[in-house]
Structure 1
Amino acid sequence: MGAGKLNRPRGATRAVALATLLLCGTAPAWAHDSWFAPLPRTDRGEAVFAFGTGNQFPVQEVTIPLTQLQRSGCQGPGQRVAPMRWVADRPVALVLRSARPVPATAALTCWAQLHPIPIEIDDATVEVYLNEISALPAVRERWAALRARGVRFQETYTKVARVELNALEPGAAAAAPSSGGPEAVPGLALDLRVESPLPLRAGDTLRAQLLRDGQPLAGLPLELRSDLSPLGIWRQTDAEGRISVPVPLAANWLLRGVDLRPAEGRPDAWDSRFITLAFEALPRR
């Protein structure tokens, strides 16, 4: 099929195998974030992204099966939301593009949500996982009680990824409301909405709001990482789900977090929602 077709045959068992690979110790991944990495645009001007999974930004290590893609979209200024289009499968990433060319003066916001995956994790890996996501005390206390009873860690996780693409030339921001940042995306399990005017530059402050099912999510730790340093900057969302964090360097950045909580209607099980927001901070002028 051509690049205009999003659906492409894949075996459903491959998705399960991927999850097992990532969380059961056969690959060095525990928090296993998935994110968009911008690639060169097409000759027609469509934005292109590598959508892959890795243990630590910016290195993508494992691809994402197309069948795992539950929903996706891109929106530029004055445009309606359009689903992303399949381009290619690569060993470490699924390559997707915007459905329409993006003017050089326009920014773009894109997102994807994956189907939920159930998994069991061994006790040793759980400890690493909880450290990687800076798990809240209530989560650690519940896990300690479950572990004392001999209960294995059973989790169903859903992943959401978002990317803000700067304009190639000065121009309008993508889908920008009066506050200066892109709009929230209705229907996402988790969403990170940038409230700072874009593009960000080195020395600016990133202001963002975390939403769960469209409502502000308070008290969740979020980490900001760059592709220039292995060290991250942690912040916890306030009562309105907001954080403010300095962006010290001109670099590619990833804001990441995991909302891990008891599963509704499933005693002793867990539900988690992963979120990543990728963006580039430009040099000071």
Structure 2
Amino acid sequence: MIKKLIALYFISAAAPAMAHLTWIDAGEQSMGLSTGHNFPSKEITVKGEYVQSIRCVDANQSVFNLSFDTKSIRYIYPQKPANCVARLKTSLIELSPSQGAQHFEESKVSKNLIDKVRGSKKFEEEYFKLAQIKPIQIDGPLYNVDVAQFVIKANDPESIYVYRNGKPLSKQPVGLEYPETPVTLWSETDADGKVKLLLQPTSKALLRTLVTEENGQQYKSQFLSVILDPK
């Protein structure tokens, strides 16, 4: 069932789990989902009621799911995983056209879609978030063709790609949230979906993107993030 967020997208009590940057906060014994405007400064911890699933792999690439309840803010794992993917529940967001255009502008959605939103009478969007600890190995146990993911390839382990529906996403705007810079550093993926980093972070950073498509009179979007550790 899709949860509905009405017009107060940026200030409602429920919206912080949907509206801001969201990333996995992985500890030695448990993990949380942190949300904030400026990575890594979290403003809120996403509770279990907003989470659809958390899937992880151990060092042997065996998959396990993390359990949570509606009151959870940390998710305890049996052993520290090699990687995890957390998916938040889908929401139906209703905004004014000007708010919808601002939302898209902040994630560098195409100008054609932004102009279309501005010229519309209302804005409705099905929206969910996916957060990763690390890029996913293509065809590995956490790889999912039905969602957008930051992935790596066996023959190119040093590069990061954006894939969806089993195919690379070209010209996809990707933002780098690096605490040492005051602004988001934006670039676009190339024809193979490869991410071009404008700088190589020397401390923990966040890579993020918003994948959006028209769906009749509505829009369908997925926010995607992954933690980048320094080389």
TM-score, scaled relative to structure 2:
0.81
- For residues 152 and 133 of structure 1, what CA distance do their matches in structure 2 show? 19
The residue matched to 1:113 in structure 2 has which SS? strand
Corresponding position: 1:110 with 2:70: no
The residue matched to 2:103 in structure 1 has which SS? helix
How far off is 1:223 after superposition? 0.4
User: For 1:34, which of 9, 22, 29 is the aligned residue?
Assistant: 22
Question: Match of 2:163?
Answer: 211
- TM-aligned CA distance change 1:254 to 1:137, over 3 Å: same
Structure 1 counterpart of 2:77, which letter? S
- For residues 194 and 119 of structure 2, what CA distance do their matches in structure 1 show? 31
The residue matched to 1:160 in structure 2 has which SS? strand
User: For 2:32, which of 46, 50, 69 is the aligned residue?
Assistant: 50
Cα contact 1:226–1:252 (8 A) shared by 2: yes
The residue matched to 1:126 in structure 2 has which SS? helix
Cα contact 2:175–2:208 (8 A) shared by 1: yes
User: For 1:95, which of 74, 97, 106 is the aligned residue?
Assistant: 74
Corresponding position: 1:25 with 2:11: yes
**Structure 2: which 5+ runs fail to align?**
none
- TM-aligned CA distance change 1:175 to 1:114, over 3 Å: closer
Q: Deviations over 1:226-259 (max 9, x none)?
A: 2333322211112221112154342111100101
- For residues 70 and 50 of structure 2, what CA distance do their matches in structure 1 show? 15
Cα contact 1:183–1:193 (8 A) shared by 2: no
**Structure 1: which 5+ runs fail to align?**
1-11, 43-47, 103-107, 165-173, 198-205
User: For 1:82, which of 44, 56, 64 is the aligned residue?
Assistant: 64
Structure 2 counterpart of 1:210, which letter? V
Structure 2 counterpart of 1:32, which letter? H
How far off is 1:176 after superposition? 6.2
- For residues 72 and 112 of structure 1, what CA distance do their matches in structure 2 show? 4
- For residues 160 and 175 of structure 1, what CA distance do their matches in structure 2 show? 12
Question: Match of 1:202?
Answer: none
The residue matched to 1:58 in structure 2 has which SS? coil
Cα contact 1:221–1:236 (8 A) shared by 2: yes
- For residues 7 and 118 of structure 2, what CA distance do their matches in structure 1 show? 25
The residue matched to 1:230 in structure 2 has which SS? coil
Question: Match of 1:220?
Answer: 172
Q: Deviations over 1:8-58 (max 9, x none)?
A: xxxx99x65xx559714347969522211233x13xxxxx32202222322
- TM-aligned CA distance change 1:65 to 1:129, over 3 Å: same
Structure 2 counterpart of 1:125, which letter? Q
Structure 2 counterpart of 1:131, which letter? E
- For residues 152 and 248 of structure 1, what CA distance do their matches in structure 2 show? 40
- For residues 141 and 129 of structure 1, what CA distance do their matches in structure 2 show? 12
- For residues 242 and 224 of structure 1, what CA distance do their matches in structure 2 show? 14
Cα contact 1:113–1:188 (8 A) shared by 2: no
Q: Deviations over 1:107-133 (max 9, x none)?
A: x11111122110101234223312210
How far off is 1:161 after superposition? 0.6
Cα contact 1:83–1:99 (8 A) shared by 2: no
Question: Match of 2:129?
Answer: 159
User: For 2:151, which of 185, 193, 198 is the aligned residue?
Assistant: 193
The residue matched to 1:135 in structure 2 has which SS? coil
- For residues 9 and 175 of structure 2, what CA distance do their matches in structure 1 show? 20
User: Greater CA radius of gyration, 1 or 2?
Assistant: 1
- TM-aligned CA distance change 1:145 to 1:88, over 3 Å: closer
Cα contact 1:118–1:156 (8 A) shared by 2: yes
- For residues 23 and 70 of structure 2, what CA distance do their matches in structure 1 show? 16
The residue matched to 1:251 in structure 2 has which SS? coil
Cα contact 1:84–1:96 (8 A) shared by 2: yes
Question: Match of 1:6?
Answer: none
Cα contact 1:184–1:191 (8 A) shared by 2: no
Within a 5 Å distance, the mapping from 1:191-270 to structure 2 comes to 191-195=149-153, 197=157, 207-263=159-215, 267-270=216-219
- For residues 67 and 126 of structure 1, what CA distance do their matches in structure 2 show? 25
